[in-house]
Amino acid sequence: MLEAIAFYVLAAIAIVSAFAVIAARNPVHSVLFLILTFFTAAGLFVLLGAEFLAMLLIVVYVGAVAVLFLFVVMMLDVDFVELKQGFLEYMPIGALVALALLGELGLVASAALSANGAPIALGPAPAPEITNAEAIGRVLYTDYVLVFQLAGLILFVAMIGAIVLTLRHRPGVRKQDIAAQVGRKRSEGVELKDVKPGQGLG
């Protein structure tokens, strides 16, 4: 009974907040609603028994990716009028993407329905005594280790690419060298001068 209540509450919040992401006038509110959507999706994962995935969703998407979104959106000076004008222009492309997503969802749903309620198994189900963190680890680091490493490598290349694109070597910029600062001796920094009265430092 509690599970059913939790499911309906979470599902309702997820749908409403997902709608609010695109309906909100203020882009910062949009991102905040996006965070709420992620969070409720994590809750749904927990209800499905996939608690490890749920936590990963929160750590990666809510804790890191959405923070950066929020960061960027807050700093952008968005012109709302201009934003609204572009809406109709992009409508056909948006509708196309939405249709494709709907079709994919329909395919999955019809496959699930044709299996008469039995879960669609893509591989052997893990033994029940294994926690799902362990189950994911066993598959990810054995059968799919190459794909996993490749995914990491792609992200790494993308990151280096972003750094290379923004890196500019400007000549004459003074940078802090911690080792040089700490390694400086008194003799290098202090010079004693014997100043004669009435003469000053020439």
Q: Which residues are CB-contacts of 30 (< 8 A; sequence separation ≥ 6)?
A: 20, 21, 22, 24, 73
C-beta closer to another protein: residue 7 or 52: 52
DSSP for residue 25 = S
* Residue-wise DSSP of 130-197: S-HHHHHHHHHTTTTHHHHHHHHHHHHHHHHHHHHHH----TT-----HHHHHT--HHHH-----PPT
CB 77 to another protein: min, Å: 13
C-beta closer to another protein: residue 22 or 64: 64
- Positions that interact with another protein (CB under 8 A): 1-2, 26, 28-29, 32, 35, 42, 51-52, 55-56, 58-59, 62-64, 67-68, 70-71, 74-75, 131, 133, 176, 178
C-beta closer to another protein: residue 64 or 150: 64
C-beta closer to another protein: residue 108 or 158: 158
CB 7 to another protein: min, Å: 14
CB 115 to another protein: min, Å: 25
Instruction: Give the separation between CA 76 and CA 72, rounded to whole angstroms.
Output: 6
CB 29 to another protein: min, Å: 8
Q: Which residues are CB-contacts of 107 (< 8 A; sequence separation ≥ 6)?
A: none
Instruction: Give the separation between CA 34 and CA 72, rounded to whole angstroms.
Output: 14
CB 26 to another protein: min, Å: 8
C-beta closer to another protein: residue 18 or 56: 56
* Ramachandran sector of residue 200 (left: φ over 0; alpha: ψ -120 to 50; beta: rest): left
